[in-house]
Structure 1
Amino acid sequence: MQENKEDWLKMNDFNVDSASDDLHGGHSFGDLTGREDGGAVACDSSKPQQPHASARAILSFVRRSARLDARLEKAKQRYSGAYLLCIADGDGSLRVKSDLCVDSQWIEANWGNANPLIVEIGSGQGENIVAAAAANPNTNFLALEVYDPGVAHTMLLAGKQDLRNLRIAQVNAPDFLAACKSGVLAEVWTFFPDPWPKMRHHKRRIVQPSLAKSVHNALVAGGVWRIATDIEDYALHVHEVMDSLACFENDGDLRVSLPTEHVGKGNAQDAADLPHADFVESRRFDGRVLTNFERKGLEAGRVIHDFAYVVKK
């Protein structure tokens, strides 16, 4: 059954400002829209940011131990000095230092210039951000990645091209963004984040209201948060979190139909039979290369959902 998104918004009432990040215990889209009238929820990034790390924080990843093969170990030893930023609060920690302040002086100190800075959350094997850095030498790039093989592989790709405008930080992305001063970033990219398909794990998805607040604060006016996923249920999740926030404008012009209720890993096949509504998304971002991960998703028949949310300040 097809429904209009605006009609669906008006049928439900949920206050995002008073919500925790644990949003998706089987809720439908309408439960999370923000206001009874379907209006937008304010995003006040002028309020003090939360501390960089919290013992109660819900992480969007599971720390996996992985041995590096000889090639990646060699790359790590060779290129860490050039690319890896030491901003964690200790060896093996993913928390940022408590005194980290990401501002224009910090950029100047680490890149040697005042060029715009783009941050990718979860850069994986580094294919996308390395290609972007190579194609845009007058833009600074920072890859945030927690997994050792991804960090080392990104160094390997960047080192082969002797890139000077790319840095890597092995820290928790929400902590880093909370340390950013207002307007310090040009764009934030979150491409194909972990979908956490089980219903009880939806709260671990990286796109959450609290992160949206930090991203809004960190981005310059007119800056963009670009998101992509090949999981239909995650696309609904992005709309739930982002479309009701007055501080972001959905810059898309592509109309897509999505279920208005969530499914989990065990009942994903039921999505086609659920009520649907039309949503607005973006066309493919030209600056995103086709990675091996995305190619596998396409070969499996999954549809790519792109989003571009522009900051209003």
Structure 2
Amino acid sequence: MTGGHYALGNPLVGPRPQARTRSFTRRGGRMPRTHQRAWDRHADDVLLEVPRVHGDTSTVVDTAYRLDVGAVFGRRAPLVVEVGSGSGDALVAGAAARPDWDFLAFEVWRPGIGHALAKLSQAGDGQLPANVRVVEADASLALRTMLPPGSVHEVWTFFPDPWPKTRHHKRRIVTAGFADTVLRLLAPDGVWRLATDAEDYALAMRGLIDPHPGLRLASTDRAPLRPVTRFERRGVEAGRAIHDLAYVRA
């Protein structure tokens, strides 16, 4: 198999994903000691091993792979998928507030995963909640094939990278194609929740999703489980408004 996504040969991947997915390679870096300890202790328990198209360093999940959510969590419960969990603030808050729900987080920033594991461990007095799993992969591609249709109770896309430069807008995760992916995943009563403090990105989200024939804007209120993070506080202090959007099936 030759390199590059053209080699995947699967129409679900599409003919030209390179422009976006180059920015979602597995991102490493040195972790603070506490985060590394959390990774060493907990990664084997919550980080899911998935088959990858281009080897262990790739963030592209094999399109033939299907995740058995019931087997992974050991039960059937409402599933929340977080796209870009960052350092884990929403993941920690959600898992603690809703132990009756399961949370599947996608993140490509390894130090962020380590930070999230440290926060989860601290919140659980050294133990991680049983309702959290993490996939180190590009969600925009993996979610096209990895989960069955209608299987997700909520999809969270909180403060995705706004890629503020116009020439980088093509790298933004919220696209019409990603809206199609989310619609496929949502259960009949499912909700797609988004948040951003970038005014132009909020307008772009509305411009892309509001006309979607399968989705309807249900609320612009703050997501019930979304915590106030230090980054959000900084944004508010800098005068930026926080935009929350919630979409349901039309």
TM-score by length of 2: 0.87
Q: 2:86 matched to 1:86?
A: no
Q: 2:193 matched to 1:292?
A: no
Cα 1:177/1:52, change in 2 over 3 Å: farther
Q: 2:123 matched to 1:185?
A: no
Report the Cα offset of residue 110 of structure 1: 0.6
Cα 1:206/1:129, change in 2 over 3 Å: same
Query: How many corresponding residue pairs?
Result: 233
Look up the equivalent residue of 1:74 and give its one-letter code.
R
Report the Cα offset of residue 55 of structure 1: 5.9
1: CA distance between counterparts of 2:39 and 2:172?
A: 29
Q: RMSD between aligned alpha carbons?
A: 1.9
Look up the equivalent residue of 1:72 and give its one-letter code.
H
Residue 107 of structure 1 aligns with which residue? Answer: 69
Unpaired runs of 5+ in structure 1?
Answer: 1-47, 253-281
Could you tell me the percent identity over the aligned residues?
40
2: CA distance between counterparts of 1:207 and 1:93?
A: 21
Which structure has the larger Rg over C-alpha atoms?
1
Alignment of 1:55-66 (within 5 A): 56=18, 58-59=20-21, 61=23, 63=25, 64-66=27-29
Report the Cα offset of residue 56 of structure 1: 3.2
TM-score by length of 1: 0.70
Residue 223 of structure 1 aligns with which residue? Answer: 190
- Any runs of at least 4 consecutive aligned residues in structure 1 with deviations exceeding 4 A, and if so which? 52-55
Report the Cα offset of residue 286 of structure 1: 2.0
Alignment of 1:1-313 (within 5 A): 50-51=12-13, 56=18, 58-59=20-21, 61=23, 63=25, 64-89=27-52, 90-102=55-67, 106-160=68-122, 161=124, 162=127, 163-179=129-145, 180-252=147-219, 282-312=220-250
2: CA distance between counterparts of 1:171 and 1:82?
A: 17
Q: RCO higher in 1 or 2 (8 Å CA, sep ≥ 6)?
A: 1
1: CA distance between counterparts of 2:230 and 2:14?
A: 33
Cα 1:230/1:216, change in 2 over 3 Å: same
| Matched position secondary structure for 1:59 | helix
User: Deviation string for 1:251-285 (max 9, x for gaps)?
Assistant: 12xxxxxxxxxxxxxxxxxxxxxxxxxxxxx0111
Cα 1:87/1:94, change in 2 over 3 Å: same
